[in-house]
Amino acid sequence: MFKFSFLIAALSLLGAQQLWAQEFRLGYVNLDRIIREAAPSKSAQAKLEQEFARREKDLQEIGSALKSAADKLEREAMTLSESQRAARQKQVMDQDRDFQRKRREFQEDLNARKNEELQQVFERANRVVRQLAEAEKYDLIIQEAVYVSPKHDITDKVIRSLNSAK
């Protein structure tokens, strides 16, 4: 009798599990692919490149001028007096310190703007994911996992939706 009750309970649980598995819809979104492939992400990247191109060019010019000054100092060091050499070394070191500061500020500004733009892309992507989840009756959509079966990957749908929504 006990074996029969146990068998009925196990079959009931198995049937409930199969029913649950059929009704539960799971989706997966790969954020890295969205950042690489979605049109809003690409346009944000182009916008940042355009916005920071002048400053980057200026930094490259400053770096070239600094290298030239350091090379010139190295070449002429033997012909300069001790006070002239010390003054030129101090000048090159001051230029280098200023260059490093400007480069650091540039990188900080670029990173801050990149984070702002990526945040906007993530917000748009999350809205699209929510709309897709509601329209296609998904129960759960995850963004990070160790392994995901390709049948659950809805990244292409999200990218298509982001690319079509301007």
Query: Which of 48, 32, 40, 55 lies closest to 113 in space, CA to CA?
Result: 48
C-alpha closest to that of 136 among 113, 161, 112: 161
pLDDT digits (tens, 9 = 90+) for 81-139: 899 989 999 999 999 999 999 999 999 999 999 999 999 999 999 999 999 999 999 99
> Is the whole-model pTM more than 0.75?
no
Q: Which two tokens stand for residue 144?
A: 């990070």
pLDDT band at 77 (very low <50, low <70, confident <90, very high): confident
Q: How far apart are CA 100 and CA 124, in angstroms?
A: 36
Q: Which two tokens stand for residue 37?
A: 């492939």
Select from 60, 73, 66 the least CA-distant residue to 103.
60
**What's residue 6's pLDDT?**
46
What's the Cα-to-Cα distance from 110 to each of 23, 44, 49, 121, 126, rounded to whole Å?
A: 46, 12, 9, 16, 24
Beta bridge partners of 140: 26
pLDDT at 7 over 50: no
Q: Does domain 25-164 have CATH number 3.90.10.10?
A: no
What is the rounded CA–CA span in Å between residue 51 and residue 54?
7
Is-contact 154 28, C-beta < 8 A?
A: yes
Beta strands in the chain (DSSP E): 26-28, 140-142
